[in-house]
């Protein structure tokens, strides 16, 4: 049976997912929903799909097996509510929202319905990240250092705090998620952030362009994650390092470097990122749709809420100047 997939959003990342889905056996991009019918039809025509300007029209007009939600952070909430109401599984791109209110409401409904979900924390699907994650289970992590350093994305919504949630919520969330995946849960967050230059260079910039976030982990380890979006294009880079008594495990999106003293068959080696993690993420979701086996999905809505809780706690801390203890609500607890 060919699975019929709908896509919401007609931007860059909708197309990345649609291209991957279009190459998969037994999967069809059947419909695209955009903010206008014109934009939706333009994208839909590439995949021989039907374009819609309204979500309800798409869901009434098509019998969809799942929907991909690839919209900016500020556009979440009513989309998820409608899909849950209709019992349609979804893969949603990170971050879940600009804050924590909508994810809490959505999670409540996801858990009540038992709906199949997946969230686009694609680094978890990298071969190098898998090696790192497994290795960290055998190490005592002393501390971690993470970073996401770069320029400011061109899309208007990204520059507005109420559009993207800011860089830590929108981009650096990948590093926070990888930290959690490898080293466990975070219990306390303290952040400082500032606007240094981008608000003077561009109009309508309300996000901070530098931030540093200190985290305490349940294990007793500590972490520090910094980000900036004030660099010229092409400068900077992202990464996460774990400091252990066996040495430094140094991950970037391109590769993992293992310490030479690592108690590991690949000690001292550089491990390339490996197979396209977006393809793996899509394969895991499609496999779950087809078989009901969710075990290959490495980030579902409940798990992603924990990452979102940390990134939004950093916003609260930067605003108040105080550390934020993470209170595990019953919906976010194991």
Ligand X SMILES: NC(=O)c1ccc[n+]([C@@H]2O[C@H](COP(=O)([O-])OP(=O)(O)OC[C@H]3O[C@@H](n4cnc5c(N)ncnc54)[C@H](O)[C@@H]3O)[C@@H](O)[C@H]2O)c1
The CA R_g of the chain, rounded to the nearest whole Å, is 20
Q: Is 133 in the site for ligand X (CB under 6 A)?
A: no
Beta 186-194 vs 324-325: how paired, if at all? antiparallel
Residue whose CB is less far from ligand X, 62 or 93: 93
Q: Is 71 in the site for ligand X (CB under 6 A)?
A: yes
The correct pick among 47, 51, 94, 177 for binding ligand X (CB under 6 A) is 94
CB of 236 to ligand X, least distance (A): 16
Residue 38's Cβ-count burial label (10 Å; 0-12, 13-18, 19+) is exposed
Three-state secondary structure readout of the chain:
CCEEEEEECCCHHHHHHHHHHHHCCCEEEEEEECCCHHHHHHHHHHCCCEEECCHHHHHHHCCCCEEEECCCHHHCCHHHHHHHHHCCCEEECCCCCCCCHHHHHHHHHHHHHCCCEEECCHHHHCHHHHHHHHHHHCCCEEEEEEEEECCCCCCHHHHCHHHHCCHHHHCCHHHHHHHHHHHCCEEEEEEEEECCCHHHHCCCCCCCCEEEEEEEECCCCEEEEEEECCCCCCCCEEEEEEEECCEEEEEECCEEECCCCCCCCCCCCEEECCCCHHHHHHHHHHHHHHHCCCCCCCCCHHHHHHHHHHHHHHHHHHHHCCCEECCCCCCCCC
CB of 8 to ligand X, least distance (A): 5
CB of 246 to ligand X, least distance (A): 30
Residue whose CB is less far from ligand X, 172 or 244: 172
The correct pick among 3, 4, 11, 188 for binding ligand X (CB under 6 A) is 11
Distance CA 115, CA 83 (A): 10
Q: Is 252 in the site for ligand X (CB under 6 A)?
A: no
Residue whose CB is less far from ligand X, 94 or 180: 94
Judged by CB under 6 A, which stretch of 2-10, 184-192, 230-238, 244-252 contacts ligand X? 2-10
Q: Is 80 in the site for ligand X (CB under 6 A)?
A: no
Q: Residue 320 region, left (φ>0) first, then alpha (ψ -120 to 50), else beta? A: alpha
Q: Is 20 in the site for ligand X (CB under 6 A)?
A: no
Judged by CB under 6 A, which stretch of 24-32, 64-72, 81-89, 127-135 contacts ligand X? 64-72
The correct pick among 51, 72, 99, 259 for binding ligand X (CB under 6 A) is 72
Q: Which of residues 156-215 bind ligand X (CB under 6 A)?
A: 170
User: Is the CB of residue 104 less than 8 Å from the CB of residue 305?
Assistant: yes
Q: Which of residues 33-52 bind ligand X (CB under 6 A)?
A: 33-35
CB of 238 to ligand X, least distance (A): 11
The correct pick among 5, 51, 122, 289 for binding ligand X (CB under 6 A) is 122
The correct pick among 120, 150, 163, 253 for binding ligand X (CB under 6 A) is 120
The correct pick among 5, 10, 20, 289 for binding ligand X (CB under 6 A) is 10
Judged by CB under 6 A, which stretch of 30-38, 103-111, 140-148, 177-185 contacts ligand X? 30-38
Residue whose CB is less far from ligand X, 71 or 182: 71
The correct pick among 22, 24, 28, 75 for binding ligand X (CB under 6 A) is 75
Ranked by CB distance to ligand X, the top (closest) residue is: 11
Per-residue binding letters, 292-321, with ligand X (x by CB under 6 A): ------------------------------
Beta-carbon count within 10 A of 292 CB: 8
Q: Which residues bind ligand X (CB under 6 A)?
A: 8-14, 33-35, 70-73, 75, 93-94, 120, 122, 155, 170
């Amino acid at each position: 049976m060919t699975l019929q997939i709908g896509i919401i959003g007609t931007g860059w990342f909708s197309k990345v997912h649609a291209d991957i889905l279009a190459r998969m056996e037994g999967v069809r991009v059947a419909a695209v929903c955009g903010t206008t019918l014109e934009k939706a039809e333009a994208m839909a025509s590439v995949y021989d799909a039907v374009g819609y300007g309204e979500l309800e029209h798409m869901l009434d007009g098509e019998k969809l097996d799942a929907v991909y939600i690839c919209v900016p952070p500020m556009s979440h909430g009513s989309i998820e509510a409608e899909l849950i109401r209709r019992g349609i599984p979804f893969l949603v791109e990170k971050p879940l929202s600009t804050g924590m209110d909508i994810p809490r409401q959505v999670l409540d409904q996801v858990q009540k319905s038992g709906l199949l979900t997946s969230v686009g924390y694609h680094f978890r699907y990298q071969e190098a990240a898998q090696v790192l994650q497994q290795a960290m289970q055998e190490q005592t992590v002393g501390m971690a250092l993470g970073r996401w350093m770069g320029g400011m994305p061109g899309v208007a919504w990204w520059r507005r705090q109420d559009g993207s949630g800011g860089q830590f919520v929108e981009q650096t969330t990948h590093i926070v998620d990888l930290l959690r995946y490898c080293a466990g849960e975070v219990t306390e967050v303290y952040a400082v952030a500032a606007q240094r230059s981008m608000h003077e260079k561009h109009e309508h910039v309300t996000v901070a362009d530098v931030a540093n976030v200190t985290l305490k982990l349940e294990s007793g380890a500590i972490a520090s994650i910094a980000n900036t979006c004030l660099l010229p294009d092409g400068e900077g880079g992202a990464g996460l390092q774990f400091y252990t008594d066996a040495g430094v495990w140094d991950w970037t999106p391109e590769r993992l470097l293992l310490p030479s003293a690592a108690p590991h068959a690949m000690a001292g080696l550089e491990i390339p990122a490996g197979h396209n993690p977006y393809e793996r993420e899509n394969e895991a979701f499609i496999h779950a749709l087809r078989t009901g086996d969710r075990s290959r999905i490495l980030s579902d809505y409940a798990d992603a809420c924990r990452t979102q809780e940390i990134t939004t706690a950093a916003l609260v801390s930067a605003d108040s100047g105080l550390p934020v203890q993470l209170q595990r609500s019953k919906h976010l607890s194991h």
